[in-house]
A = this chain, B = another copy of it.
Amino acid sequence: MDSLAAPETLFAGCRRYDSMPKLVLHSSYLISTLLGRIFRTMAQNVRLQCIGVILWALLHPAMTTAQQPALNLIPLPANVQSGAGSLKVDSTFSVGFTGYTEPRLERAGERFLRQLARQTGLLLALKPSKTAKATLVIQTDRAGKEIQEVGEDESYILDVSTASARLRASTPLGAMHGLQTFLQLVDVAPDGFAAPAVTIQDKPRFPWRGLMLDSARHFIPLEVIRRNLDGLEAVKMNVFHWHLSENQGFRAESKKFPKLHESGSDSLYYTQDEIRDLIAYARDRGIRVVPEFDMPGHSTAWFVGHPELASGKGPYEIERRWGIFDPAMDPTSEKVYKFLDDFIGEMARIFPDHYFHIGGDEVSGKEWDANPKIQGFMKAHGIKNNEALQAYFSGRVQKLVTKHGKTVVGWDEVLVEGVPKDIVIQSWRGQASLAKAAKQGFRGILSNGYYLDLGWSAARHYAVDPMSGDAANLSAEEKQRILGGESCMWAEYISPENVDSRIWPRNAAIAERLWSPQEVRDPASMYARLDFVSARLEWLGLTHRSVSRHMLQRLAGSASSSEFAALRALAEVVEPVKDYTREQTAPAEPTSTTPMNRVVDAVPLESDAGRRFGELVDQFVASSCHDGAAEARLRAQLTVWRDNDAILQPLAERSFLVKEIAANSRDLSALGAMGLAALDAIAKGQSAPDSWRTQQLAIVEQIKKPRAQLLLIPAPAIQRLVEAAAAGGACSAAKP
């Protein structure tokens, strides 16, 4: 909710989720008296648990923007009640299990202790005990499902007092989630490390919360996947959707059809043993692994070794370009179904999950159009168009998947007339598509709005809710069919080197969207907590923060320290172009062998420094340009930018990779100078001339255009400063 919600809204949330999370409900003391009476009336209608939270909400609304959030948790729990004091975390810290235990749980305990040791630097005993005599006692009721199920109980209750902590959960899944929450609670404090006293009752909003990773377009080594699974565990995502085949690569070893990976992967594939290990690794972290083998399109790599599956003549080669290509399986060939029967059977035995993703997206249909045999088949069977032909194919494949004991997941396209109701639709099209499916009785998961490769800000992803739009109007029963969502990491422009930085930290915002109550949606609070959690994720070995400097060092070669500082100053305020612009603006057609060593590959997809600068400008303008401290900070920053280009240009002469951003560098210096001029005009207390304003804004418009596939993020904020200067003494009128 934004700022302070009406008490009714609080109530609604409270009934649905037992209680609302404290952090979004901070209120100011000022209105507590005012609301005291309302509260007393309300209190009679709600359960005791809920009261504390509402009380907090009414007392602390001013903290809603979470400039100083009390607890840096992502995702925010369903219900948080703060206590007094904190639990000291020192080298005597221990973990004990009571109730049900299993090796998975014990490993989770060890992993927790290792992680706690890492994030504090304390030398802890790394073995949990099986007693209640421990700092943190974990009580689990029963075993989880042998194969993790959708909707399996993931709830937990975490009580932290000044003396000890207790974590209770029905299943190991809940216990593992609670351990992650505890890790996020521990922070450095005035007299040591500590976790605040708190009671947290938590459970997810959606049962399907995933990340899809395309390791087909670019092969991603297992160690990279493993650390990303650690990241998923940290933010309580529970599905790893593994996109394993594409035009550009077939990445899973098939013993039945070895030509699939031998011919289709450039020797970059996962062996069956490696896949089994990874599945076990994921299960240990409460994560299901859903394999995707995309068909009938996106399948060129299959045909390199098995051209007989294709609708065209072949021969086929591994595709090196990006885009949608014509090769597609022959839906009219019984050999294809025999092959897929065997293949799906083989994979179904390796991947234990109940769900099996068959892709189904983006079939161009051209190979079908061009194949007389297929055309004849369509006529003979009254299949009137390619969509119907794909429906026929999907239906046949769905039966094979069912035969091997799995449920089909597919992209929107697989949903055509006559498909059985038990399939799950993964929607790249959006909530309307999802809602339509739900109305027809299909379960679905949302991915539209969660495409990590499009370079959106965390806030933009965060604002996307599976239950919004058409989905908001579904009946309760229909809503149940919306299982959750998956972020998608498509791999045209990622490499093993920078993939972490393309997933994190933004994926954590999506994880919160899918776990926390719908009402949790304040982006300022999210960013404040994200900063903290992002730093924490580094302890898992994720390189999303460190890789940028590392890659810039490559660009910089033997740069002097001041040149390198100038390169970083520029790099920290640019972002790669958004959506599908990178492909469109590429200097040469990008392929899977294009090096990803440019600035556009090195910088994060979202500029923290750029966002903060914009906030500072807003703060300054909102103060009617009277906030002297903000002005001083703006001046310091603008001066650095103005002077930056002169330092950077010599390096641009020496490095072709820096040369590429020479124009961006000049633009940044221009913005710096323009911002300083605006501040000077504001300081004079008079309106800057209109001609100046027009001229400056024209320059900003030029600067806003992408160069070297990069956007200069401070441009709009500089524009606001120019507007403020033009507004003169009444600069606050220019507030956006």
Interface size class of A (residues with CB under 8 A): 35 or more
Say whether A654 contacts B188, CB under 8 Å.
yes
Say whether B187 contacts A557, CB under 8 Å.
yes
Contact with B along A571-596 (1 / 0, CB 8 A): 00000000000000000000001111
Residue A655 is within 8 A (CB to CB) of chain B in the complex: yes
Give the one of A555, A594, A655 with max B CB within 10 A. A655
Residue A497 is within 8 A (CB to CB) of chain B in the complex: yes
Say whether A91 contacts B595, CB under 8 Å.
yes
Of the candidates B119, B551, B658, the one whose C-beta lies within 8 Å of that of A554 is B119
Q: Interface segment, A376-384, A434-442, A530-538?
A: A530-538
Say whether A123 contacts B595, CB under 8 Å.
yes
Residue A418 is within 8 A (CB to CB) of chain B in the complex: no
Q: From residue 173 to 226 of chain A, which have CB atoms closer than 8 A to chain B?
A: 187-192
Residue A120 is within 8 A (CB to CB) of chain B in the complex: yes
Complex contacts, A532 vs chain B, CB 8 Å: 557-558
Complex contacts, A658 vs chain B, CB 8 Å: 188
Residue A659 is within 8 A (CB to CB) of chain B in the complex: yes
Chain B residue at smallest Cβ distance from A593? B123
Q: How far is the CA of A658 from the CA of B551 in the complex (A)?
A: 30
Residue A691 is within 8 A (CB to CB) of chain B in the complex: no
Query: Given A72-B558, A187-B557, A538-B550, are A597 and B120 also a contact pair (CB < 8 Å)?
Result: yes
Q: How far is the CA of A290 from the CA of B661 in the complex (A)?
A: 50
Q: How far is the CA of A549 from the CA of B547 in the complex (A)?
A: 13
Residue A556 is within 8 A (CB to CB) of chain B in the complex: yes
Contact with B along A303-332 (1 / 0, CB 8 A): 000000000000000000000000000000
Residue A258 is within 8 A (CB to CB) of chain B in the complex: no
Residue A680 is within 8 A (CB to CB) of chain B in the complex: no
Say whether B189 contacts A656, CB under 8 Å.
yes
Residue A702 is within 8 A (CB to CB) of chain B in the complex: no
Contact with B along A535-548 (1 / 0, CB 8 A): 10010000000100
Residue A121 is within 8 A (CB to CB) of chain B in the complex: yes
Complex contacts, A656 vs chain B, CB 8 Å: 188-192
Of the candidates B535, B549, B550, the one whose C-beta lies within 8 Å of that of A553 is B535
Of the candidates B122, B535, B554, B593, the one whose C-beta lies within 8 Å of that of A188 is B554
Say whether A555 contacts B655, CB under 8 Å.
no
Say whether B612 contacts A561, CB under 8 Å.
yes
Of the candidates B535, B538, B594, B654, the one whose C-beta lies within 8 Å of that of A189 is B654
Residue A730 is within 8 A (CB to CB) of chain B in the complex: no
Residue A277 is within 8 A (CB to CB) of chain B in the complex: no
Residue A608 is within 8 A (CB to CB) of chain B in the complex: yes
Query: Given A554-B121, A595-B122, are A190 and B538 also a contact pair (CB < 8 Å)?
Result: no
Q: How far is the CA of A120 from the CA of B72 in the complex (A)?
A: 38
Q: How far is the CA of A375 from the CA of B596 in the complex (A)?
A: 72
Complex contacts, A280 vs chain B, CB 8 Å: none
Complex contacts, A561 vs chain B, CB 8 Å: 531, 608, 612
> Nearest chain B CB to A423's CB is how many angstroms away?
38
Contact with B along A59-72 (1 / 0, CB 8 A): 00000000000001
Complex contacts, A734 vs chain B, CB 8 Å: none
Q: From residue 101 to 127 of chain A, which have CB atoms closer than 8 A to chain B?
A: 119-123
Residue A152 is within 8 A (CB to CB) of chain B in the complex: no
Of the candidates B188, B553, B653, the one whose C-beta lies within 8 Å of that of A657 is B188
> Nearest chain B CB to A544's CB is how many angstroms away?
13
Complex contacts, A551 vs chain B, CB 8 Å: 121
Q: How far is the CA of A553 from the CA of B495 in the complex (A)?
A: 26
Query: Given A595-B91, A595-B122, are A538 and B553 also a contact pair (CB < 8 Å)?
Result: yes
> Nearest chain B CB to A644's CB is how many angstroms away?
13
Complex contacts, A655 vs chain B, CB 8 Å: 188-190
Q: From residue 585 to 641 of chain A, which have CB atoms closer than 8 A to chain B?
A: 593-597, 601, 608, 612
> Nearest chain B CB to A551's CB is how many angstroms away?
7
Complex contacts, A187 vs chain B, CB 8 Å: 557-558
Say whether A596 contacts B121, CB under 8 Å.
yes
Contact with B along A444-484 (1 / 0, CB 8 A): 00000000000000000000000000000000000000000
Chain B residue at smallest Cβ distance from A651? B188
Q: Contacts A189-B655, A192-B656 given; 12 further ones with Cβ under 8 A? A: A121-B495, A121-B497, A121-B551, A121-B596, A121-B597, A123-B595, A187-B558, A188-B554, A188-B654, A188-B658, A189-B656, A532-B558
Q: Enumerate chain A interface residues (CB-CB to B < 8 A).
A: 72, 91, 119-123, 187-192, 495, 497, 531-532, 535, 538, 546, 549-551, 553-558, 561, 593-597, 601, 608, 612, 653-659
List 21 interface pairs A-B (beta carbons < 8 Å), by A numbering.
Answer: A120-B595, A121-B495, A121-B554, A121-B595, A121-B596, A121-B601, A122-B595, A123-B593, A188-B554, A188-B555, A188-B557, A188-B656, A188-B658, A189-B656, A190-B656, A531-B561, A535-B553, A538-B550, A546-B546, A546-B549, A561-B612
In the A-B complex, the 8 residue pairs with the closest CB atoms: A121-B597, A188-B557, A188-B655, A187-B557, A535-B553, A121-B595, A532-B558, A546-B546
